[in-house]
């Protein structure tokens, strides 16, 4: 753990395994609630000095961290593939994405502007300023184990906040390596703190109950996010929640079905389907569903599962056995209710893959509303295809979910594109675009997919309080 600028151990250790083969690759301290409390105290003591620095000074630290992260890109990527399982090329891309947040907020730190407001009285002046909220507690997920750290830490530090972070139990080694970068960048003691733990519940309890923590930022499941938000409400803490998704992928009759299927194959199986913006329901107009499915199936059949360190691997392992069981349950339920398996539909066991958590990339057709996969987020490599006949039906089906994070639309009609962009109740909509994300753009969802935004200029606002000054002159 990294608390108040010092690396610490704990009485117990948490072993970390490679999901591709089950081998132990390292260990981290198994911290507890008292460690979280000490880290919060360190962050509180560091806050006055850190928030008192100029924006230019805080920016310099983030620029420094960005430079170091890019220099260590390959080492970080290899650690990510070992610990999380994604193919090495995807890991390299993620490290670059993580570094982008450090660079973007190094720049945004200098763009926290105030304003003056005309007052109704001649002897009165109004000034609006933005100040850091204080100590931030962050909880990050395993599926993007470095970029989700910097997406929270960079804007918090740029705003003048200090932070305590608990990484996912499955990927703490990536967090340790990231915090080594902050140490080397000479960010002052107590400004960034890391608490690793096998059991997240006591850490979360300290985060939500400790009055020193003024903001909680969480990326993970909707169920856990609701619990943290409810507990934080007792002290009216600020919360940012980036939660589950159930993204629709709409392909309209004027779209090129081959081009759309290629896009679907890339974004659906990104990170083995373990992404909150992964398409979960592929709605395709009935007039073009046949060539779409043919192309999608042909491309998915060519995907190779295996250890992400090997060349040509595009499908890595799922995070654990529970993830495998969930995918198997959804596929079996769909088959029993009439869906057709075009490819995949089974666990990968050959060539040593039985030692890891691998599931074959799968395409299902004939999916209906009665199937679990239509309603429940999969977080795995399964693409369910649903045919539709008219635009309004497609829009209604797409919006028929409690989630509202991301949606995708393929059409060559600008009117239809605009109607879908405006009508889809999702925080992110990609129009003929399977990667509508960047450090410079706001990321977040509607409905039960979360609260607040990360990235873009909106991302730093989440860590600022608005203060009004009324002056009598």
Question: Active-site residues: which are they?
Answer: 242, 276
Strand partners, 28: 14
Q: How far is CA 116 from its chain centroid?
A: 36
Which three-class secondary structure state does DSSP give residue 421?
Answer: helix
CA distance 328 to 147: 29
Greatest distance between any 2 Cα atoms in the chain: 81
3 contacts: CB under 8 Å, gap ≥ 6: 35, 38, 39, 42, 193, 194, 195
Q: What's the distance, CA 330 to chain centroid?
A: 23
Calculate the alpha carbon distances from 194 to 4, 35, 62, 339 in Å.
Answer: 9, 10, 17, 46
Q: How far is the C-alpha of 306 from the C-alpha of 364, rounded, in Å?
A: 22
Q: How far, in Å, CA of 381 to CA of 53, rounded?
A: 46
290's tokens? 């046949």
Q: In whole angstroms, give the CA distance from residue 284 to residue 288.
A: 7
Helix (H, G, I), strand (E, B) or coil at 280: strand
Quickly list H helices, 160-245.
172-184, 200-209, 222-232
Structure tokens that stand for 234 in this block = 């007792």
Q: Which of 398, 402, 403, 404 is nearest to 386 (CA)?
A: 398
Cβ–Cβ under 8 Å, residues 141 and 168: yes
Whose structure tokens read 């993580």?
A: 98
């Amino acid at each position: 753990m990294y608390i108040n600028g010092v690396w610490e151990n704990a009485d117990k250790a948490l072993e970390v395994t490679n999901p591709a083969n089950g081998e132990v690759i390292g260990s981290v301290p198994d911290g507890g609630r008292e460690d979280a409390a000490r880290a919060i105290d360190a962050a509180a003591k560091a806050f006055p000095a850190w928030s008192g620095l100029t924006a230019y000074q805080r920016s310099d630290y983030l620029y420094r961290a960005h430079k170091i992260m890019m220099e260590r890109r390959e080492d970080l990527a290899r650690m990510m593939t070992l610990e999380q399982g994604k193919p090495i090329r995807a890991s390299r891309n993620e490290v670059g994405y993580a570094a982008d947040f450090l660079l973007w907020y190094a720049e945004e730190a200098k763009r926290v502007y105030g304003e003056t407001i005309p007052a109704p009285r001649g002897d009165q002046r109004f000034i609006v300023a933005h100040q850091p909220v204080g100590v931030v507690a962050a909880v990050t997920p395993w599926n993007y184990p470095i970029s989700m750290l910097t997406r929270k830490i960079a804007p918090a530090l740029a705003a003048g906040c200090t932070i305590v972070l608990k990484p996912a139990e499955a990927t703490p080694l990536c967090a340790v390596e990231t915090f080594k970068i902050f140490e080397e960048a000479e960010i002052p003691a107590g400004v960034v703190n890391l608490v690793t733990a096998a059991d997240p519940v006591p850490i979360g309890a300290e985060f939500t109950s400790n009055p020193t923590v003024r903001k909680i930022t969480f990326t993970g499941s909707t169920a856990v996010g609701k619990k943290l938000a409810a507990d934080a409400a007792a002290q009216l803490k600020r919360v940012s929640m980036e939660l589950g998704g159930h993204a629709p992928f709409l392909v309209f009759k004027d779209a090129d079905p081959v081009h759309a299927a290629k896009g679907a194959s890339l974004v659906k199986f990104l990170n083995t389907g373990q992404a909150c913006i992964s398409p979960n329901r592929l709605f395709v107009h009935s007039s073009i569903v046949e060539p779409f499915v043919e192309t999608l199936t042909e491309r998915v059949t060519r995907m190779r599962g295996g250890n992400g360190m090997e060349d040509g691997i595009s499908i890595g392992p799922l995070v654990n056995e529970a993830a495998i069981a969930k995918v198997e349950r959804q596929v079996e339920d769909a088959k029993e209710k009439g869906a057709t398996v075009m490819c995949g539909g089974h666990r990968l066991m050959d060539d040593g893959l039985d030692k890891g958590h691998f599931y074959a990339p799968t395409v299902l057709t004939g999916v209906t509303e009665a199937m679990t996969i239509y309603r429940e987020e999969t977080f795995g490599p399964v693409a369910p295809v649903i045919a539709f006949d008219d635009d309004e039906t497609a829009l209604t089906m797409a919006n028929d979910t409690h989630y509202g994070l991301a949606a995708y639309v393929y059409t060559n009609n600008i009117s239809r594109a605009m109607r879908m962009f405006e009508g889809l109740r999702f925080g992110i909509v990609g129009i003929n675009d399977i990667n509508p994300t960047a450090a410079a753009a706001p990321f977040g969802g509607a409905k039960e997919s979360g609260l607040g935004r990360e990235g873009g200029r909106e991302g730093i606002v989440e860590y600022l309080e608005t203060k009004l000054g009324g002056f009598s002159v």
